[in-house]
Amino acid sequence: MNNILKMKNKISNWNELKLFLRKRSLSPLKYPSFVLYFIFVIILMGSIGVLNVILSWISNGDLEITDFISNASNVFLALVAASAVELILIKDDDLESDTQCRKIDIRILGIIFLIIAFFLWILAKHFSNYIGLIISIIGLFFGFYVWWISNAQNSILIDETDPKHALAGDTIMDNEIKGDIKDFKS
């Protein structure tokens, strides 16, 4: 019986991790500030070296594969490294209250993301042909996804107040207000 409970707990941990990833994947779509920041700052500005190679390819008609691979692989490695550290250092406050996902699961996920990124980076750098190009493009999309889920609860990008606070999220008023209205005249 004890083994059955342990097995059920393991399955629920997998479900919680899946729920964590699903919520982090979908919840930022509600916020234009998050989506616009992602498109214009992370994708366009963060990948300016990749875009430069693409624009050169469009104007000259010659794709410098090694330049593309180098730029793209460096971008996705930097994105994944910074984003994975966010997941590894996640605080209890950053976990959704309705998700019981354990911090250790998320930390291990961050480490796995780092390992995958380094593996893709090594592969992309090893091949200087279309295989490296495909691997670096896969790495870019992987890096963008890891950034997205690690920043999905970033309060700088998501302007949302807590409705339980009367002053639009001011936590100074968490204690009960003391006083009476005995001297109040209407």
Which residues in 167-185 are b (16+ Cβ under 10 Å) and which e?
eeeeeeeeeeeeeeeeeee
Domain locations in the chain as residue ranges = 31-91+100-156
The token pair that represents 159 in the structure block: 């302007």
Give the CA angle between residues 87, 93, 97 to the nearest 5°.
100
The pLDDT assigned to 175 comes to 58
Q: pTM here?
A: 0.77
What is the identity of the amino acid at 70? S
Q: CB count, 10 Å around CB of 51?
A: 14
Single-letter amino acid, residue 124? A
Per-residue pLDDT of the chain (186 residues; tens, 9 = 90+): 566 555 555 568 888 888 889 999 999 999 999 999 999 999 999 999 999 999 989 998 888 899 999 999 999 999 999 999 999 998 877 776 545 568 888 999 999 999 999 999 999 999 889 999 999 999 999 999 999 999 998 888 887 665 555 555 555 555 566 667 777 776
Region class of 127: left (phi > 0), else alpha (psi between -120 and 50), else beta: beta
Q: What is the pLDDT of residue 81?
A: 97
Q: Are 65 and 53 in contact (CB under 8 A)?
A: no
Label residue 166 exposed, middle or buried (CB < 10 Å: 0-12, 13-18, 19+).
exposed
**What tokens were used for 42?**
């992370």
